[in-house]
Amino acid sequence: MFFRDVIGQERLKQKLRESVLNKRVAHAQMLVGPTGAGSLPLALAYAQYLACTDRSEVESCGVCSSCRRYHLLEHPDLQLIFPKNRTGDNEGQKFSSKDFVIRFREAVLEDPYLSLQQWLSFLGIENKQGAINVEDSAEILHNLSYKAYEAEYRVIVVWLSEKMNTEAANKLLKVLEEPPVRTVFLFTSESTENMLATILSRVQTHRLERLSDAEIVQGLIADGGSDESQAALAAQLADGDFGLARQFMHDPESISATVNFFIGWMRACFTMKMDTISVLMDEFQKMGRERQKDLLAQAAGLLRNVLLYRMAPDAHQPMIRQQMEFVQKFSRFISPDNMEGLLTELDRASYHIERNAHPKILFTDLSYSISALLQQEALKR
Ligand SMILES: [Zn+2]
């Protein structure tokens, strides 16, 4: 992976390059960014740059023996740690990332912006949670007890490190405190909220920015997307998540399914049509947990765009063009006054989904809250 394969994040890329050029590479770093902002591809590009024997000031060379191995994510001094769970094949046995690494490479090479849900689906265990377990930490310590093979830096990339359980995290503390020379831990995470303070205090944290719609469109076009208005719509729905935008691009029907769900739901909330809410609630319950979270994020993105329309009706926005009638009516009930409340409610719902809230109850409660916030704006008129 090259820095140029990572969309946006120019400021952070520069900071990471400089750390190498100035030989001030912190031995444990954490890249924190929202889903689809690119913390994994950025970590991999940084690792490749660190290990390259002929880097320029901006990019790894791509041709040295290290880069060639990195290109396939097969460098012996690169260790990949990631969430996973039991599949049918490893029932009853201990397992670590090592047992899944061939499939992980395959999935990441196919789409470095993949989400946890995509990865678990790839393994055929989309209804399970993924975790980083104590066997992973043991594997890391085991590898570190050997000398590095050849690279200047040995790199351990820990993808979605918030999925590390306490036992696994505790086992790593000592090595994070006193790592072997020229060993770099690159953790990525979407949120540091539930991470052990003892880990956080030992890492240098970098924050990725949420990707703009324009950056996502550029990325989709570079990725081979030819339909620019489709790309704009996908970017708008994906709300900063490039991986999701790419999925939309490959599956245009899912775009209309999402927009239709959103429109039906908002109408039902506004009119308090309980029978419609109940139908949507059943539909919502059937989606997997990650899909539910995606949908809430997309709803937030769509609401933001409805508000933008209200503020600047002449701006060109793809969803707006296709759903003009709905947006014109609905935008009267969205204002800066209730927007914050709406986004907070969606965020809170997402937080509770993560913690196994009952989807039917959650969806109904959320619909009531949204309804109240929409009414609040309506009453002003
Ligand atoms: Zn190179």
pLDDT band at 308 (very low <50, low <70, confident <90, very high): confident
Which is it for strands 154-158 and 78-81: parallel, antiparallel or unpaired? parallel
pLDDT band at 7 (very low <50, low <70, confident <90, very high): very high
* The predicted structure's pLDDT at residue 287: 86
Q: Is residue 232 a contact partner of residue 301, using CB atoms and an 8 Å limit?
A: no
Between the alpha carbon of residue 299 and those of residues 29, 268, 282, the distances in Å are: 33, 14, 17
Task: Give the best-scoring range by mean pLDDT among 42-56, 84-98, 145-159, 195-209.
Answer: 42-56
pLDDT digits (tens, 9 = 90+) for 327-356: 888 888 999 999 999 999 999 999 999 888
Question: How many A from CA of 152 to the centre of ligand 1?
Answer: 12
Question: How many A from CA of 65 to the centre of ligand 1?
Answer: 7
* The predicted structure's pLDDT at residue 90: 59
The pTM for the full model equals 0.80
pLDDT at 320 over 60: no
* The predicted structure's pLDDT at residue 151: 67
Give Cβ neighbours of residue 289 (< 8 Å, ≥ 6 apart).
117, 353, 354
* The predicted structure's pLDDT at residue 11: 96
Question: How many A from CA of 212 to the centre of ligand 1?
Answer: 30
Residues in the chain: 381
Question: How many A from CA of 52 to the centre of ligand 1?
Answer: 4
Mean pLDDT of all residues in 118-123 = 90
Phi then psi for residue 47, to 5 deg, are -60, -45
Report residue 346 as tokens.
């969606």
Mean pLDDT of all residues in 210-230 = 88
pLDDT digits (tens, 9 = 90+) for 260-298: 899 999 999 998 888 999 999 999 998 888 789 888 988
Give Cβ neighbours of residue 228 (< 8 Å, ≥ 6 apart).
217, 221
Mean pLDDT of all residues in 151-178 = 92
pLDDT at 314 over 80: no
Question: How many A from CA of 17 to the centre of ligand 1?
Answer: 14
Question: How many A from CA of 71 to the centre of ligand 1?
Answer: 10
Grouping H, G, I as helix, E, B as strand and the rest as coil, residue 131 is strand
Mean pLDDT of all residues in 200-205 = 93
